[in-house]
Amino acid sequence: MSSSAILQPGYIIDRRQDYIWFIGLPFIAVCFASISGHYLPGAALAAIALWITIPHHFVTWLRIYGSPSEFARFKERFVLSPLLLVAFTYALIQYAPLSLVLIVTLWDHQHSLMQQYGFSRVYDFKAKAGAPSTGKFDLALNWIFFGNMLVVSPLFSVIWVRMMHEWGLPISAEIVQVVHWVSWSVAGVYALVYLAHMAWCVRSGYPLNPLKYAFLLSSYFLWYFTSFTTAYLLVFAVAHRIMHGIQYIVMVYFYNRHKVERTGGDSALLRFVSGKGRVKAFLLICAAYALAFHALTEGLVRDFGFGLVGFNTNFDLFSYSLLSSFALLHYYYDAFIWKVRKKDVQEGL
Amino acid sequence: MRYLRSLKTLLLIALVGGALALIERQRHAEQQHLTERSHARGLPQLRGQSLREFAQVLVVLYPEGAEPNLVMGTALAEEGKLAEARPFLEKALAVDRRNQQLLFLYARLLLDLGEKPAKVKEVVDDLRRFFPRSRQKVEEYFAEASKGKMRFDADNVY
C-alpha cells in the first residue's frame, strides 16, 4: 500500500490555520508560560483568565443563545441549568467549599481531555480516516494519558495527595509510589494497544490522518512538559489555558462562520459576528463580555449598587460562585452540543 | 417528567455534590483537621498533625521540590519550631523565589528569629516587587510587625 493511501491528511479549518492553532499553538503556549513563570507575577494567570478563559466561555453562550435553532435543540437545559448551577455552586461555596473544588477540578480535567478527544474526532471526520472503532481507542487514549499525567506528575501528585489529606484520607508515600507505578504501567500497555490498533487500521485499509496524531502529540507535549518540569502551577495553568481557550474560540468562530455561509445563519447576531471578515466584531464582543464578567466578579459593579448591593460577605460569595458556576455551565453544555455524528453539528464543521 | 429527563446529568451531579458536602462536613466536624476560612474566597487549610503528615509524605516523594519544603516549613513554624523550619523554607526559596506565601512566611520567620531588619527587608522587597497588588498591605504589616524598624520607600522596588 502506498504511503498516500495510508496517510490521508484532513484539516479542521485549512492547512495554514491548523498548523498555527492546533499544532503550533501548544509550543508557543509553553514558551509564553515558561517566560511568565520567570518574569511575570502571579497576576499573569488572572490576565489569561480575563482575555482567554472568560471569552472562551462566552463563545459557548454565543453559539447557544445567539442561534434560535441551537437554542431550540435543548431549550429546557439552556433555560434551567444556569439557574440550577449558580444556586448549586453558591450553596457549596458557602457550606462545603472542598466539595466544590473537587467537582470543579475533576470536571475541568474531564472537559479538557474531552476537548482534545473531540477535535481528534473532527480530524478523522474531515479526513474520512480511521476505522469505526477508532473513536473508542481515541477516547481511551485521552482518558489514560491525561489521567496518567494527573496521577504521576510531581505538580499534580502534590495536589491530589493534598486533597486526600484534606478529605481525611491520609495516604503514605509508599502507596503514592505504588499508584504511580500502576499508572505508568497502564499507560505503557495502552500505548502498545493503540499502536497495534493503528497498525490494524493500515492493514485493513483504513487510512490514518497524520494531522490528528500531530495534534494529539503537541497537546500532550504541553501537558506533560509543563507538569513534569515545573512545580509552579502558574506555568501549567497559563500554557493549558492558552491552548484550551484559544483552540476552542477558533473552533467556535469557524463553526459559526461555516454555518452562516452554508445556511445563511438564523440570527442577526450570528451573522454580525460570524460572517466573512467579521473577526474584529467577534473579538470585540468577546472582549466586552470578558470586561463585563470581570467587573462583576471582581466587585467593581458595587459602585453601581447605590449602597444596596455588594457591601457584604454574601455578595463576595455570590460573585465568587459565578466564577465556578459559569465554568461548570460551559463544561455541561459542551458535553452534549458537540456530537460529531449529529447532522446539524456536521453542518458547521 | 420531561424536565427531569432532560436535566438528569445535572441532577446526578447535584446529588453527588450533596453527598460530598455531607461527607466533607462530617469529616471536618469529626477530625477538626482543617482551619476555618479566613475570607469568602479562601479555602480551609490543613493544620496541626494533618499538615505535618502531609508534609512528611511530600518530602519523601519530592525532597528537592519547593512545595514540599514550603509545607514542611509551614508545619514546623506552626508548631513553634522556627529554627527547624528555616532550612526547609530556604530550600524552597532556592527553587521558587516567586511564591507569595513562601516569601511572606520566610520574612515573618526571620523577624521572629530576631534577624536584622535589613535582612528581612530583602525578602519583603521581593514580595513588594513580585506581588504589587498586595504591596500596600505587606508594607503596613511589616512596618507594624517590626515596630517601625522597617521603612519602605515609595519607588525603590521597581
Q: Which of A43-47, A128-132, A203-207 has the lowest mean pLDDT?
A: A43-47
CATH of the domain at B63: 1.25.40.10
pLDDT of residue A158: 95
Q: How far apart are the first and last CA of chain B?
A: 62
Query: ∠A336-A341-A343 over CA atoms, to 5°?
Result: 95
Q: Is residue A177 part of a domain?
A: no
Q: How many domains does the structure of chain A reveal?
A: 1
Q: What is the mean pLDDT of residues A279-308?
A: 68
**Would you say B28 and B34 are in contact if contact means Cβ atoms under 8 Å apart?**
yes
The residue ranges of chain B whose pLDDT is under 50 are: 156-158
pLDDT at A131 over 70: yes
- pLDDT the model gives residue A99: 95
Q: Which pLDDT score is estimated for A123?
A: 96
CB contact under 8 A, A43 and B133: yes
In b/e form, how buried is each residue of A8-18, taking b as 16+ CB within 10 angstroms? bbbbbbeeeeb
User: pLDDT (tens digit, 9 = 90+) per residue, A176-213?
Assistant: 999 999 999 999 999 999 999 999 999 999 999 999 99
> Is residue A54 domain-resident?
yes
CA distances from A111 to A38, A142, A209, A248, A324 (A): 29, 11, 24, 12, 14
B32 touches chain A (CB under 8 A): no
Q: Is residue A192 less than 8 Å (CB to CB) from chain B?
A: no
Note the pLDDT of residue A306: 29
pLDDT digits (tens, 9 = 90+) for A138-171: 999 999 999 999 999 999 999 999 999 999 999 9
Question: Which DSSP symbol is given to B36?
Answer: P
Query: Is B79 part of a structural domain of the chain?
Result: yes
When scoring B67, B129, B138 by the number of chain A Cβ atoms within 10 A, the one with the most, hence best to mutate, is B67
- For A148, the grid coordinates are 496518567
pLDDT at A241: 93
A36 found inside a domain: yes
Q: Which pLDDT does position A301 carry in this prediction?
A: 42
Residue-wise pLDDT for A224-277, tens only, equals: 999 998 877 888 999 999 999 999 999 999 998 888 888 888 888 888 888 777
The verdict on residue A76 lying in a domain is yes
Q: Which range of residues forms the domain containing residue B96?
A: 48-120
For residue A220, what pLDDT band results from cuts at 50, 70 and 90? very high
DSSP string, A189-217: HHHHHHHHHHHHHHHTT--B-HHHHHHHH
State ipTM: 0.88
Report the Cα–Cα distance between both ends of chain A, in Å, rounded. Answer: 30
- Whether residue B65 and residue A103 make contact (CB cut-off 8 A), yes or no, is no
Q: What span, in angstroms and rounded, lies between the C-alpha atoms of B52 and B49?
A: 5
* Residue A148 lies inside a defined structural domain of this protein: no
* Residue A95, amino acid: Y
Q: Which DSSP string corresponds to B69-81?
A: HHHHHHHHHHTT-
Q: What is the distance in angstroms between the Cα of A103 and the nearest Cα belonging to chain B?
A: 7
- Element housing A224 (H / E): helix A210-229
* pLDDT tens track for A10-38: 999 999 999 999 999 999 999 998 888 77
In a domain? residue B58? yes
Higher pLDDT, B147 or A134: A134
Is B5 an 8 Å CB contact of chain A? no
Total tally of structural domains belonging to chain B:
1
Range of the structural domain that residue A276 is part of? 19-123+231-346
Task: Find the helix or strand (DSSP H, E) in which A244 lies.
Answer: helix A233-263
A175–chain B Cβ distance below 8 A for any pair: no
Reply yes or no on whether the pLDDT at A278 is more than 90. no
More confident of the two residues A64 and A175: A175
Residue A204, in any domain of the structure: no
Nearest 5°: the CA angle A202, A208, A210 is 135
* Range in A121-130, A228-237, A296-305, B126-135 the model is least confident about: A296-305
Q: Nearest C-alpha of chain A: how many angstroms from B140? A: 21
Please give the pLDDT value at position B157. 46
In a domain, B36, yes or no: no
